[in-house]
Structure 1
Amino acid sequence: MTSLLKPAVFLCAAIALASSPCAYAADKPAAPADLALSCQNPVKKGDTARSLKKRYPGNTTVQEVDGAEGATQKVLVLYPQNQMKPYRVEVYFDDDAMTRLVSVNINAEKSQWTYQGLKILDSIQAVEKQNGKPLILYGFGWDYGGHVTSFNEGTFSTPSSDCTPNFRFQLRTDKNTPKAILGEQKIKSSLPAVIQAQPYLSEISLDFVEQK
């Protein structure tokens, strides 16, 4: 009879361990000390997958993510554990060995990262105000829709010499979208149709490739 109880005992122990605070903490790693995204944090110019794995032990993994036009790409992910992805950072390289840094990307709705005070889900008007001038972006509803193409000589037009900021906006599903801001065209954030649609900030990225 004792032998019949052993599997049940082990099962109960496993369940208790899985629901313990220690197991919960493993899924929720400590927050990064600094959640202000910059050209030096959490990634800096010259970083490789190797240097980042050393800097963030136990908090990196390689994943395949979706790209434009049905393509996929392998990226190094920092802080991938938590399901809500509050600290997730996607790091892009242009070589298989992950030695040539291209950019970092923040796109989780629950992200706690900020860039110069801006965060995911902020309104396009908030970003425009920070820039000081209307943004120029692609029309919505296609693979590159919502990407900012120019900061129109605003604040974000003169970034650090180490990296360049880029933003992307998404339309709200509960709003009727004017056809005037859809499709492969360039539009201004100050257009009445854009203001009516109320797009929100869905991606913040920093580009480490030197601009020519």
Structure 2
Amino acid sequence: MRQMPFALAALIAAAEAAVAQAPAPQPQILDCADFSRKTEEAYFVKRFGRENVVTAKLDGAEGETIPGTVVYPKDPSRRLEITWSDAKRRKGLTGITVRGQSEWLVRTPGKARETLRLRDSLEAVQEANERPFQISGFGWDYGGYATGWKGGRLDAMPAGCGLSVRFNPDPTVRGKAADRASGEKDFSSADPAMRAAKPFVSSLTLGWPE
């Protein structure tokens, strides 16, 4: 059997070593401080490239669709959904949403500079808030939203920004345990009935009120 030339073997070994030592990709983080109410679609085009920013219809409340912008429409792990006060000209930023399979992190305020991400537990969000917060019961159009941070750390997002978090109950939780965490009413995140539903984060939105 013919042996591989030494020079070729050395080149392959060097390439394998370089791959092994390559740093892991840095997580993508959304920070309120990078945006404002005056942010326009042109900012996202400059930051992410024209080919990665498209106009699209986005899912709204109660089955409606709303015009907006999508960043990385072909890459679920990097997808962002953007809404505007002036949707026609795509100006006046009102929201940036992370949902589905997106792996974006959202930076939280304070010295720790921690982050939240999709699939974080209810307990993890309460810890980030540094106190219990309000969450609406599941099973209706506005179910599962955090409805008030009660003066916690997540009430103090920078740059005029607010954080909206929606939770889904664990699909394995059924019957009475699911029923006790459902309905058009608010629960404390520390409520045993809500904890028993094992909620996890299903969407994160940075918002700028109109």
For Structure 1 versus Structure 2, the TM-score category normalised by the shorter chain is: 0.7 to 0.9
Letter in 1 for 2:158: S
2:81 aligns with 90
Normalised to the residue count of structure 2, the TM-score between the two structures is 0.77
Q: CA RMSD in A?
A: 2.1
The one-letter amino acid of 2:159's match is S
Gaps of 5+ in 1: 1-31
- In the alignment, what sits opposite 1:22? none
Q: Deviations over 1:60-94 (max 9, x none)?
A: 11121221112101221112222xx1111111112
**Consecutive unaligned residues in structure 2, runs of 5 or more:** 1-24, 108-113
Query: Which structure features the higher share of strand residues?
Result: 2
- Equivalent of residue 59 in structure 2, options 66, 69, 74: 66
* Aligned residue in 2 for 1:152: 150
2:132 paired with 1:134: yes
Displacement of 1:44: 4.2
Contact 1:109–1:121 (CA<8 Å) still a contact in 2?
no
Distance 2:143 2:117 in 1: 19
Q: Work out the CA distance in 1 between the residues paired with 2:129 and 2:153.
A: 5
Structure 1 residue 200: deviation in Å?
0.2
TM-score (norm 1): 0.76
Q: Give the Cα separation in 2 of the matches to 1:98 and 1:72.
A: 16
1:16 is aligned to none
Structure 1 residue 33: Cα displacement: 6.5
1:113: how far off? 2.7
Identity of aligned residues (%): 28
Alignment: residue pair count? 177
Asked whether 1:104 is paired with 2:102, we answer no
Aligned partners of 1:103, 1:208: CA distance in 2, in Å? 6
Distance 1:156-1:196 versus aligned 2 partners, 3 A rule = same
Give the corresponding residue for 1:75.
68
